[in-house]
Amino acid sequence: MNVDVAELLTIDVEAEIRKLAEAELGGPWQVPAELVRRSLRAGATRVDVELAGSSLRVSDDGPAIADASLEALRGLLDVAAAPSARHRALLELEGQGEVGLVALAGLQRRTLRIVCDGAERLRAGDPKVRPVPARGAVIELEGVGLDRAQAKRWLEVAVRFSPASVVLDGVELERGAANAVVEAKLEAPVAGTLALLRSDEPARVWLLRWGVVTTHAMLPGTTGVEAAVELGERGQRQVGAGELRAAFKRELAEVEAQAIELAIATASALDPREPEDRMKVRAMLLASAKVAKSAEVRRVKMLPALYGPSHAREWSSIDQLLHHAQGKSVLAVDTEARAANAVTQAPIFVLSPAERARLSQLFGVAFAPPPSGGVAGPLLSLKGLAESGARAARAAAGAVQGAWQKAVPVEDQTEAERAALEVFKSAVQTSSRKPFNAVELCEGDGAPHVKGRSKTLMLPRGNAEVAAAVALVSADPSWAYTALTALLGGVTMPPSALRARS
């Protein structure tokens, strides 16, 4: 039996409208964000959202809502209109990309009022009339059924990358990446922003349409990256978040590549005074095996290492680290302070345990601590105590004696004394770090001592050790270091310049 297809296949417009409004939204709580998107798409530079009580108000400084859109909305809202007319109105709004206005139609509300450039353009129900700005569009709803707290939370997330300021209940919402090490613009073929974060958040790409987040996708291979990609008109056809993600899959790889490039450029350009930032960027580059093992990343000088006896810090690459690792362990410490007592000329890498673990995992590098000096002090003993006491007594005696001792004039010095003093003085002059600033001979047979503020080492010529030192040093200046070590009596050591000559 033939069947009238027109009678058989029909469209339930009411159901369509009811379901369409929230079809692709996470819930009514996303409607304020959709209305903000509408404003930004229209060109607004500031959008104010008020969520108070059971009302919702979105106002902007953009152009008025197009007459066609308002007409379509009016048609959609007209429950008395024929289903076909309402359906046409719906198609019209969909065709214009007015998702926000479509969502309005499906939102539970008591009243709706739209004012553009100071003139009321649409009214549903019996709304309160509030003052409106002379320019811009205002959408007001009363008796709205939506989760306010969730709406606010979503707005805070959704407008973070908005080009215009969005004010929620009088407070401007924060924009931009939170706590970024560096930010940059994405390059074609994608448009948007890219940031390397200080946090260890999984890498995330926010997909925006006209500055408002629609959905996000993760970059599974890395961490600490946040990108916001503006799809604009491109994202219009794919209404749903799932479709957007699917359609954008190719571009995700592009974003990831640009993030790595940014990390590489940042890794060596960061201020060395910000070690935490550098560590974060390193972590990002090491997070993915594929990235970390790439030739480009292996060449980046991003690993801090201490070189030479002075432990000067230089930035090394993974390749350099692997070079040092050939056949043996690589020396590494957690912090530079731990390398203070290291007694090696080999480079010491300053890497956290996590970084070492990651490098071990990726490249099979074994790490080892550097040989460390810093021997512990001698065990306490009576003898040691006695010696300390004796040193103190000697120093005190010397100080007492030295209080009135004056230097022996040169003309009163013997040849040997002059020669020895010459050696001592020249060593003092050439040393930058020295326990005393001058050396003089004095009368008496007490112990050598450092005198006064001038820190002059006074050598009593009558002291047997001093005499011995004079005898030796005058004949062989290379004895100066040993002699002064003896004369200083264990209080300190002679200047290092003397040692070099011994």
Closest approach of another protein to the CB of residue 500, in Å:
11
- 161 touches another protein by CB under 8 A: no
Which CB atom, from 63 or from 221, has the smaller least distance to another protein?
A: 221
Of residues 209, 32, 213, 215, the one with CA closest to residue 107: 32
- 368 touches another protein by CB under 8 A: yes
Using CB under 8 A as the binding rule, the residues of this chain from 62 to 91 that contact another protein are 83-84, 87-88
- 16 touches another protein by CB under 8 A: yes
* Identified binder of another protein from the candidate list 165, 254, 465, 501, rule CB under 8 A: 465
Which CB atom, from 191 or from 491, has the smaller least distance to another protein?
A: 491
Give me the amino acid identity at 194. Answer: L
- 19 touches another protein by CB under 8 A: yes
Pick the piece of the chain touching another protein (CB under 8 A) from 38-46, 274-282, 390-398, 406-414.
390-398
Give me the amino acid identity at 416. Answer: A
How open is the CA angle 247-249-251, to the nearest 5 degrees? 100
The single-letter DSSP state of residue 127 is: P
Using CB under 8 A as the binding rule, the residues of this chain from 288 to 307 that contact another protein are 288-289
Closest approach of another protein to the CB of residue 354, in Å:
5
- 105 touches another protein by CB under 8 A: no
Closest approach of another protein to the CB of residue 113, in Å:
28
* Identified binder of another protein from the candidate list 380, 404, 409, 411, rule CB under 8 A: 380
Count of CB atoms within 10 A of residue 332's CB? 26
Pick the piece of the chain touching another protein (CB under 8 A) from 97-105, 115-123, 217-225, 315-323.
217-225
* Identified binder of another protein from the candidate list 108, 341, 414, 454, rule CB under 8 A: 341
Rounded to the nearest 10 degrees, how much is the dihedral formed by the CA atoms of 307, 312, 317, 323? 0
Using CB under 8 A as the binding rule, the residues of this chain from 396 to 455 that contact another protein are 435, 447
* Identified binder of another protein from the candidate list 143, 176, 202, 275, rule CB under 8 A: 202
CA count, 13 A, side-chain hemisphere, 55: 16
- 200 touches another protein by CB under 8 A: yes
Which CB atom, from 118 or from 353, has the smaller least distance to another protein?
A: 353
Closest approach of another protein to the CB of residue 395, in Å:
11
Instruction: Extract the runs of DSSP E, i.e. beta strands, from 170-255.
Output: 171-172, 180-185, 192-197, 202-209, 212-223, 225-230
- 194 touches another protein by CB under 8 A: no
**Residue 136, H or E segment:** none
Do residues 442 and 407 touch, judged by C-beta distance below 8 A? yes
Do residues 494 and 481 touch, judged by C-beta distance below 8 A? yes
Strand partners, 205: 217, 227
Which CB atom, from 43 or from 384, has the smaller least distance to another protein?
A: 384
Pick the piece of the chain touching another protein (CB under 8 A) from 68-76, 119-127, 399-407, 467-475.
467-475
* Cis preceding linkage at 220, omega within 30: no
- 493 touches another protein by CB under 8 A: yes
Burial (0-12, 13-18, 19+ Cβ within 10 Å), 54? middle
Closest approach of another protein to the CB of residue 29, in Å:
9
> How far is CA 305 from each of CA 205, 309, 375, rounded to the nearest angstrom?
34, 12, 24
The footprint of another protein on this chain (CB under 8 A) covers a number of residues equal to: 111
* Identified binder of another protein from the candidate list 118, 220, 272, 452, rule CB under 8 A: 220
Closest approach of another protein to the CB of residue 346, in Å:
7
Do residues 106 and 17 touch, judged by C-beta distance below 8 A? yes
Distance separating alpha carbons of residues 434 and 226, to the nearest angstrom: 55
Of residues 184, 178, 234, 172, the one with CA closest to residue 209: 234
**Residue 437, H or E segment:** none
Pick the piece of the chain touching another protein (CB under 8 A) from 18-26, 127-135, 264-272, 404-412.
18-26
The single-letter DSSP state of residue 99 is: H
Which CB atom, from 55 or from 222, has the smaller least distance to another protein?
A: 222
Which CB atom, from 59 or from 215, has the smaller least distance to another protein?
A: 215
Of residues 76, 75, 70, the one with CA closest to residue 18: 76
The residue count of the chain comes to 502
Using CB under 8 A as the binding rule, the residues of this chain from 348 to 367 that contact another protein are 353-354, 356-358, 360-361, 365-367
Write a three-state SS string for 336-390. Answer: HHHHCCECCCCCEEECCHHHHHHHHHHHCCCEECCCECCCCCCCCCHHHHHHHHH
Which CB atom, from 313 or from 338, has the smaller least distance to another protein?
A: 338
* Identified binder of another protein from the candidate list 112, 196, 458, 472, rule CB under 8 A: 472
* Identified binder of another protein from the candidate list 55, 162, 193, 215, rule CB under 8 A: 215
- 176 touches another protein by CB under 8 A: no
Closest approach of another protein to the CB of residue 129, in Å:
35
Using CB under 8 A as the binding rule, the residues of this chain from 247 to 266 that contact another protein are 247
Which CB atom, from 27 or from 452, has the smaller least distance to another protein?
A: 27
